[in-house]
Structure 1
Amino acid sequence: MAAISSSVHCLLSCNSHHLQREQSGSLCRLGGSRVFVSSSIWKLSLFSGVDSKRRRTLICAVKGDPEEAFKKTVEIDRMIDALRDANPREVEKLVLENILAFDEGFWIRLAARSDTCKSDDDKKDYEELATTVMTIVDCVVNKTREKIETSTDILKGILRPAIDGVEEISWPPRDPEAINLMEKEIIQREKEGQLDEGFLSEVSAQLRQAKEDRDKPGLLAMLQKVLQLYSATILSKRSYAKKGNEVVKAEHFLETLIKAPEEQWNKLFVDGLTIGKGDITPDELSAVIKKRIERTLIRTVSNGRRFIPAADLD
């Protein structure tokens, strides 16, 4: 029975999303999430007022394996060459597709190449390229910040029934109706199209932070519940319990589990499975869970989504 319960957890995790990439010097924490650090400081410091001798010293002082440093330099040079050869539309596309590449190493290398230019025209081209890339990256920063602020407000709205007037967050909430209100809020916001990937990333970032802090078990459980309620809402939008006029009992039972609160699962297992009082075998339930996972993966991948690890829901 524990294995089946774990399978249901896995299914609930499949329709949620999280993808976080980190690169030193290119990301910072903001409101529990991470956003790109503005490249302005690098452009200004490397192209305005810092002498070339000091820049070369900075380049030579880089620590690490020389072979890896050389490979990194080659990668940056390829990116710079591609940006120089691209038209304005292509430059924007390259920057957006490789946004994490524009860290301090990129700006140092770009400044170093500018120093080696033999003509003022070439040097000006590099400075204009730096300004263009900086502008695009800063635009991404601002849009990301706005998106995080919006996602944070949405999450606060969902959690409000459980945290309003509460000095210390505990789980389950003292008011049993709070969970029902949270679920209604999630359903309504999902209908309005507010629960997008930015929202899921915000929940996941807050969840990881709560795990790292280790002193907020109530918040951790609450955020896990938000992900479970979201997954159940999405999975419940489409039913596979009927084939024509025939009811597929195993599918119907699975959909009952998805919609039910987790604390009711044990009773549902006992009443529905043949190992208890029911007529659905564990193998039948496992088969429809596997099938639903496959359908969910196909549907969400086709929509360009990725998934939150099942551990975030446990």
Structure 2
Amino acid sequence: MAAISSSVHCLFSCNSHHHLQREQSGSLCRLGGSRVFVSSSIWKLSLFSGVDSKRRRTLICAVKGDPEEAFKKTVEIDRMIDALRDANPREVEKLVLENILAFDEVFWIRLAARSDTCKSDDDKKDYEELATTVMTIVDCVVNKTREKIETSTDILKGILRPAIDGVEEISWAPRDPEAINLMEKEIIQREKEGQLDEGFLSEVSAQLRQAKEDKDKPGLLAMLQKVLQLYSATILSKRSYAKKGNEVVKAEHFLETLIKAPEEQWNKLFVDGLTIGKGDITPDELSAVIKKRIERTLIRTEGGSYQQRILTEYLKGIESRAEEITKLMQG
């Protein structure tokens, strides 16, 4: 990105790499909401070439733990290995993708141990070819995950570009007031194109955590928070519950006005819209529709997803601010 400040350059060139390293430490990566252990190619292949049987037995003993649990794990792995050996190439790929969490250290050690017990060179060769095939598929998944993280970083950079292009020192709010509008338009467009998926939300959340830990980039922290606020407003505004037949449900309409409005305008909207100020919506009515919207959000989003957490936090933020204003006005 042209004329980008050193802190932002570090964020996206170095920090994204650290984010990947956190999720993929040697062989640990995140796929969706799951953590997947993928042994390095060299380590896996070494189990089949140049590592003596005594060393492998030592490794097997080291990972056993509870005997009963170890036995159950071994039975499960043997079933997986047998299924993979009997499957055709297309079925092998399907099995690997469906059971990606199964390919941990214990799996590779067990596969190597079974190779050791083979009585013929042909059987041993079959195991080595199976290991190579599975390894290739798993490594492909890791590479696609890495590419996805990099793509999500590029999307985030594109959204932030209006606020940071040509800026030497990151500050909030941006010097150009139009920057936020341009960021919002960028988010709306990219959401229409299906780019703001779980991978993107994961990347923003990771960058936000890092900015909080660093404590020396308050402008960047506020900027990333604004991205999530604009995202939440965009998604939540796609559905309206303000009309019931020909009638307008005032509390729902008021909530939707708050959802679409910048956070900086919430206080004024509360004073103008609630009965504690100049309006005709009671705090209890607003609280009721917020809780109902949170309930609808929980139903319509995947449990435990970044989207679910971000949208519900945004709604709870509105509720919390309303409670603060209510207490202040009444006190």
Which range, TM-score by smaller chain?
A: 0.7 to 0.9
- Which piece of structure 1 moves more, 170-179 or 194-203? 170-179
Q: How far does residue 231 in structure 1 lie from its aligned partner after superposition? A: 1.1
Q: How far does residue 139 in structure 1 lie from its aligned partner after superposition? A: 1.6
The TM-score normalised by the length of structure 2 is 0.74
Question: In structure 2, what is the Cα distance between the partners aligned to 1:313 and 1:97?
Answer: 57
Check 1:31–1:236 CA distance in 2 against 1; reply closer, same or farther (3 A cut): closer
Check 1:271–1:248 CA distance in 2 against 1; reply closer, same or farther (3 A cut): same
Question: In structure 2, what is the Cα distance between the partners aligned to 1:307 and 1:27?
Answer: 43
Is the 1:59–1:108 contact (alpha carbons within 8 Å) kept by the matching residues of 2?
A: yes
Q: How far does residue 154 in structure 1 lie from its aligned partner after superposition? A: 0.8
Deviations 1:41-85, CA, capped at 9 Å, x for gaps: 233221123333332233334496666655554543443344334
Give the match's secondary structure for 1:94: helix
Is the 1:9–1:310 contact (alpha carbons within 8 Å) kept by the matching residues of 2?
A: no
Is the 2:24–2:30 contact (alpha carbons within 8 Å) kept by the matching residues of 1?
A: no
- Which piece of structure 1 moves more, 41-50 or 27-36? 27-36
Structure 1: runs of 5 or more not aligned: none
Is the 1:204–1:308 contact (alpha carbons within 8 Å) kept by the matching residues of 2?
A: no
Q: How far does residue 144 in structure 1 lie from its aligned partner after superposition? A: 1.8
Is the 2:37–2:103 contact (alpha carbons within 8 Å) kept by the matching residues of 1?
A: no
Is the 2:116–2:124 contact (alpha carbons within 8 Å) kept by the matching residues of 1?
A: yes
Q: How far does residue 247 in structure 1 lie from its aligned partner after superposition? A: 1.1
Check 1:249–1:200 CA distance in 2 against 1; reply closer, same or farther (3 A cut): same
Give the match's secondary structure for 2:176: coil
Q: How far does residue 279 in structure 1 lie from its aligned partner after superposition? A: 0.7
Deviations 1:205-229, CA, capped at 9 Å, x for gaps: 2223333334333322222211111
Question: In structure 1, what is the Cα distance between the partners aligned to 2:75 and 2:322?
Answer: 32
Check 1:149–1:311 CA distance in 2 against 1; reply closer, same or farther (3 A cut): farther
Question: In structure 2, what is the Cα distance between the partners aligned to 1:209 and 1:122?
Answer: 50
Check 1:182–1:307 CA distance in 2 against 1; reply closer, same or farther (3 A cut): farther
Is the 2:4–2:166 contact (alpha carbons within 8 Å) kept by the matching residues of 1?
A: no
Give the match's secondary structure for 1:304: helix
Q: How far does residue 146 in structure 1 lie from its aligned partner after superposition? A: 2.1
Q: How far does residue 286 in structure 1 lie from its aligned partner after superposition? A: 1.6
Is the 2:172–2:223 contact (alpha carbons within 8 Å) kept by the matching residues of 1?
A: yes
Is the 2:4–2:165 contact (alpha carbons within 8 Å) kept by the matching residues of 1?
A: no
Q: Name the % identity.
A: 95
Question: In structure 2, what is the Cα distance between the partners aligned to 1:246 and 1:209?
Answer: 47
Give the match's secondary structure for 1:15: helix
The TM-score normalised by the length of structure 1 is 0.78
Check 1:117–1:137 CA distance in 2 against 1; reply closer, same or farther (3 A cut): same
Structure 2: runs of 5 or more not aligned: 302-317
Q: How far does residue 182 in structure 1 lie from its aligned partner after superposition? A: 0.9
Q: How far does residue 187 in structure 1 lie from its aligned partner after superposition? A: 1.0
Check 1:154–1:262 CA distance in 2 against 1; reply closer, same or farther (3 A cut): same
Deviations 1:181-238, CA, capped at 9 Å, x for gaps: 2111111111222222221222122223333334333322222211111111011112
Is the 1:28–1:35 contact (alpha carbons within 8 Å) kept by the matching residues of 2?
A: yes
Aligned pair count reads 314
Deviations 1:18-59, CA, capped at 9 Å, x for gaps: 999969763159999999757422332211233333322333
- Which piece of structure 1 moves more, 271-280 or 87-96? 87-96
Q: How far does residue 274 in structure 1 lie from its aligned partner after superposition? A: 1.3
Question: In structure 2, what is the Cα distance between the partners aligned to 1:288 and 1:14?
Answer: 43
Q: How far does residue 137 in structure 1 lie from its aligned partner after superposition? A: 0.8
Question: In structure 1, what is the Cα distance between the partners aligned to 2:319 and 2:284?
Answer: 29
Is the 2:170–2:219 contact (alpha carbons within 8 Å) kept by the matching residues of 1?
A: yes
Of structures 1 and 2, the one scoring higher in RCO (CA 8 A, sep 6+) is: 1
